[in-house]
Amino acid sequence: MAVGMARVWARIASLALAALLALAIGGVVRAHARTVGEIIDDARITAEVMTRLTAESPSNFVKIDVKSESGVVTLSGTVDSVEKRSRAAQITGAVSGVKGLVNNIQVAGAAPAPDTASSSSSVGGAAIDATGTVASVDASSGTITLSDGRVLRANDRTAVYQPTTVQALKPGDRVLVRGAAPVTVRAPETRMGTVARVDAARQQLVLTDGTIVRVASSANVHRGSEHLTLAQLEPGAELVIQLAPTPSASPGTTTTSTRRTPDTAAALDATDVNVVWSPSANSR
């Protein structure tokens, strides 16, 4: 046990040193499109995953290699049972900041596990495992959008837990998706607006410029750290709204995004609504 922990702490120290070197050498230069903050966060995630794995089973999990890139963790190495392979994935998914998981751990004496789904035709590359809260589902294309903006595409190798199907998912469901194809998304956009009308029954806000903002039950509506319901918002309130990212088109395809016409108002989907000022607060 002592030897195993010593090895882990040595690896953690080397990761910390690597992060400091990246800061000293890189400055504001990006490495593989990652910011300095992302590099530091990836080092933290890697160290925390290794620490938790070793604490769980030093004899097995100390043999696992951990790599994190922009929050997507790749596990590799060998364990002695399928249960321990699954347990390693479960431990990793519980670490703060982990956005996806590629489980390349092999079981000694067993055939290689097919988690990477090399035949996937996704825009984002190899299939991944991911946990999160469902923001929206397009069952016809197998596309699942999570509340933090990640977009996944299910295929015939994808499993959704607790055992269910893409067709059965609905906004607000907490899910574990295994073997899904990550879809490239445009970065989340943020805009400001003033409330003209609140339609709590339809879960919508109408802004003073005529824009309709759809606020799903999974969206975070708040004033600072204070959680609010949609019905608590009032006309005149000023908001900072984070919009749900939209999938980027694959090369050679055409998009069918909705265009605004003179007779139709723009409609946006929000993942976060922050009240920065309201009339009632000003009158107190």
Structural contact between residues 152 and 182, judged by C-beta atoms closer than 8 angstroms: yes
Is residue 69 a part of any domain in this protein? yes
Q: How far apart are the first and last CA of the chain?
A: 60
* Residue, of 243 and 228, whose pLDDT is higher: 228
Report pLDDT digits (tens) over 138-157.
887 888 887 776 788 888 77
Residue 91 and residue 142 in one domain: no
Looking at the fold, whether 85 and 143 belong to one and the same domain comes out as: no
Residue 116 domain flag:
no
Residues 194 and 230 in one domain: yes
Nearest residue to 11 via CA among 46, 40, 38: 46
Q: Are strands 212-223 and 267-277 parallel, antiparallel or unpaired?
A: parallel
**Residue where a domain stops, chosen among 137, 154, 182:** 182
pLDDT, residue 113, reads 44
11-69: pLDDT as tens digits: 655 655 555 455 444 444 444 456 777 788 888 999 888 888 888 777 767 678 898 88
Angle between helix 36-56 and 2-26 (nearest 10)? 180
The boundaries of the domain holding residue 268 are 190-282
Residues 79 and 8 in one domain: yes
Region of residue 247 (left: phi > 0; alpha: psi -120 to 50; beta: else): beta
Is 123 within a domain? no
Residues 219-252: b if buried by 16+ CB within 10 A, e if exposed = bebebeeeebebebbeeebebebbbbbbbbeeee
Q: Are residues 87 and 142 in the same domain?
A: no
User: Peptide bond before 90: cis, by omega within 30 degrees of 0?
Assistant: no
Q: Say how many domains are in the chain.
A: 3
Residue at 118 is within a domain: no
Q: Name the amino acid, one letter, at 21.
A: L
In a domain, 53, yes or no: yes
pLDDT the model gives residue 57: 73
Element (H, E) at 77: strand 72-79
pLDDT tens, position by position, 147-188? 776 788 888 778 887 667 888 888 888 888 888 888 766 556
Distances in Å between the Cα of 226 and the Cα atoms of 45, 232, 274, 282 are 28, 12, 10, 17
Q: Which residues contact 155 (CB under 8 A, 6 or more apart)?
A: 117, 120, 127, 142, 179, 180, 181
Average per-residue pLDDT in the chain?
74
